[in-house]
Chains A and B, each alone.
Chain A
Amino acid sequence: MNVLIPSALRSYTERAEAQASGETLAALLADLERQYSGIRFRMIDEQERIRRHIRIFVNGAQVHDLGYRLDASDEVVIVQALSGG
């Protein structure tokens, strides 16, 4: 499925969109990690929590659970959520 990558992570993907697959959000992130080594830990901490300033949306709705089930037609958007200097 199509995954929109925020600018802060494009040093890994070298483009704004990536293709990845998985039956769950966790599997999708694992596929991204397989393709772009190191990218997952920048988004997900060692306790399997989405990091504080990362948001993940599936078809426009924010998802907090890495076990969230995905469909091949889903649109996944990863957002960097931080303001200030």
Chain B
Amino acid sequence: MTTRATPRSGSTSGSSPAGGRTLVLVATRKGAWLYRGDAARASWQVDGPHFLGHIVNHLVLDPRDGRTLLAAAKTGHLGPTVFRSTDFGRNWKEAAKPPAFARVSDDPKARAVDHTFWLTPAPASQPDVWYAGTSPQGLFRSQDGGVSWEPFSMVNDDANYRRWMGTVQDGTPDGPKLHSLMVDPRDPNHLYFAMSGGGVHESIDGGRSFAPLLDGMQVVAGFDDTEPTFHDPHCVRLCPSNPDRLYQQNHCGIYRLDRPSKQWLRIGKNMPAEVGDIGFPMVVHPRDADVAWVLPMDGTDVWPRTSPGGKPAVYGTRNGGETWQRLDTGMPREQAWWTVKRQAMTADAADPVGLYFGTTGGELWASADEGRNWRPIARNLPEIYAVETAELPG
């Protein structure tokens, strides 16, 4: 399918220090929006909706060519697909072959992709390669810029991985997910991914084999922490400035891993006890691997997964998680029960770094000074699923 977007436009403005020109890509349960920042990231021009009514789980601009957009979409009625645009969303064309599991004859329970959840471009050395993670958990790759997709590696059919993936009942409410696909920028054969549930996994041979990377990660009390099934990483990020360092927001805490060690360190224990270290997103600084941010959620009793006490805040560390600072200037002081999903918080590459997050209540918030001050870019959007940024030329 080829579509031409019919976006409505408008602008919002505020004040913040100078930074780079940034594009914020917002994927929601009912469509996608693009926000183009001015040079100071003080005023934002809205472009959207794109795919109004589509469930868009991820929208990513290819950093290798600076113009190709991929959108992982489905609707309530229709099966999943990937849309592709090479003109910043003015025109979209559907993938010729979206991610799909291999056909299994005569198995009524054979898996079918419900939705593509995560899209990751490979490093610049592989300009046409993309990876995709799906629900139920599957790993896919495109070698032609997102036009056609094939099952990738042994993960989708390996007996152990199938067992570790569990069932729909073991996953997130709208389906178990393969996410946090990461490629080492120094070596495209060095890959990571995570599964909710199912743990964190690594390949050093270009995906021919993967192995769990779980040591130090905790699980819910009473379960076996050597069993990948019981691990629920919510979001894992690799530091661009030091690819040997990874940060993770897990169902059971915030972690850091410094390779070649295989031992995750629970740096969330340094968070204030009354806030805890439960949440979904994990964001890392583009140039300083000691700097990272989280957005804590309430993980007590029935797991409300809202801002603790109704007082939302981002927490940032500038020393690898040894200490954390509350960053909430500009946010509501009370009665704000926000939920922010794992893909719905990100950073730009400007200096100082801009931070962005979107709530399930449809609010898009931004900070142009690494979290010290916050203001909303947009309100009244549909439930926000993912927020990404890209640098615009000129």
Is the pairing of A and B real?
yes
Give residues in A with beta carbon < 8 Å to B: 6, 8-9, 11-12, 36-39, 41-49, 51, 53-54, 80-82
Partner of B77, one of A6, A36, A41, A44: A6
Least Cβ distance of A31 to chain B in Å?
Answer: 17
List of A residues within 8 angstroms of B110 by Cβ: 47
Contact A49 B1, beta carbon cutoff 8 Å: no
Complex CA distance for A23 and B112, rounded to whole angstroms: 26
Contact A12 B112, beta carbon cutoff 8 Å: no
Residue of B nearest to A82 (CB): B76
Residue of A nearest to B79 (CB): A42
Partner of B78, one of A9, A36, A47, A48: A9
Residue of A nearest to B75 (CB): A8
Given A45-B112, A47-B104 in contact, is the A80-B77 Cβ separation under 8 Å? yes
Contact A82 B103, beta carbon cutoff 8 Å: no
List of A residues within 8 angstroms of B96 by Cβ: 37-38
Given A37-B96, A38-B94 in contact, is the A45-B79 Cβ separation under 8 Å? yes
Least Cβ distance of A50 to chain B in Å?
Answer: 10
Complex CA distance for A75 and B107, rounded to whole angstroms: 31
Contact B81 A54, beta carbon cutoff 8 Å: no
Least Cβ distance of B15 to chain A in Å?
Answer: 37
Question: 9 tightest A-B contacts by CB?
Answer: A45-B112, A46-B100, A80-B77, A42-B78, A53-B77, A47-B110, A82-B76, A38-B94, A42-B79
Least Cβ distance of B73 to chain A in Å?
Answer: 11
Given A47-B112, A48-B103, A49-B112 in contact, is the A38-B78 Cβ separation under 8 Å? no
Contact B76 A41, beta carbon cutoff 8 Å: no
List of B residues within 8 angstroms of A80 by Cβ: 77-78
Contact B77 A8, beta carbon cutoff 8 Å: yes
Partner of B101, one of A46, A51, A82: A46
B3 at the interface (CB under 8 A from A): yes
Interface footprint category on B: 20 to 34
Least Cβ distance of B228 to chain A in Å?
Answer: 25
List of A residues within 8 angstroms of B94 by Cβ: 37-38
Additional 8 contacts, C-beta under 8 A, given A39-B1, A41-B98: A41-B79, A42-B81, A45-B100, A46-B103, A48-B103, A51-B79, A53-B77, A80-B77
Contact A41 B103, beta carbon cutoff 8 Å: no
Most chain A CB atoms below 10 A, which of B75, B77, B112: B77
Contact A46 B78, beta carbon cutoff 8 Å: no
Residue of B nearest to A55 (CB): B77
What are some 25 contacts across the A-B interface (CB < 8 A)?
Answer: A8-B75, A9-B78, A11-B1, A37-B1, A37-B94, A38-B1, A38-B94, A41-B79, A41-B81, A41-B100, A42-B78, A42-B81, A43-B78, A45-B112, A46-B102, A46-B103, A47-B104, A47-B107, A47-B111, A47-B112, A48-B103, A49-B112, A53-B78, A54-B78, A82-B76
Complex CA distance for A45 and B107, rounded to whole angstroms: 13
List of A residues within 8 angstroms of B112 by Cβ: 45-47, 49
Least Cβ distance of A14 to chain B in Å?
Answer: 10
List of A residues within 8 angstroms of B75 by Cβ: 8
Least Cβ distance of A62 to chain B in Å?
Answer: 16
B113 at the interface (CB under 8 A from A): yes
List of A residues within 8 angstroms of B98 by Cβ: 41
List CB contacts (< 8 Å) of B75-117 with chain A. Answer: 75-79, 81, 94, 96, 98, 100-104, 107, 110-113
List of B residues within 8 angstroms of A39 by Cβ: 1
List of B residues within 8 angstroms of A8 by Cβ: 75, 77-78
Most chain B CB atoms below 10 A, which of A6, A42, A51, A81: A42
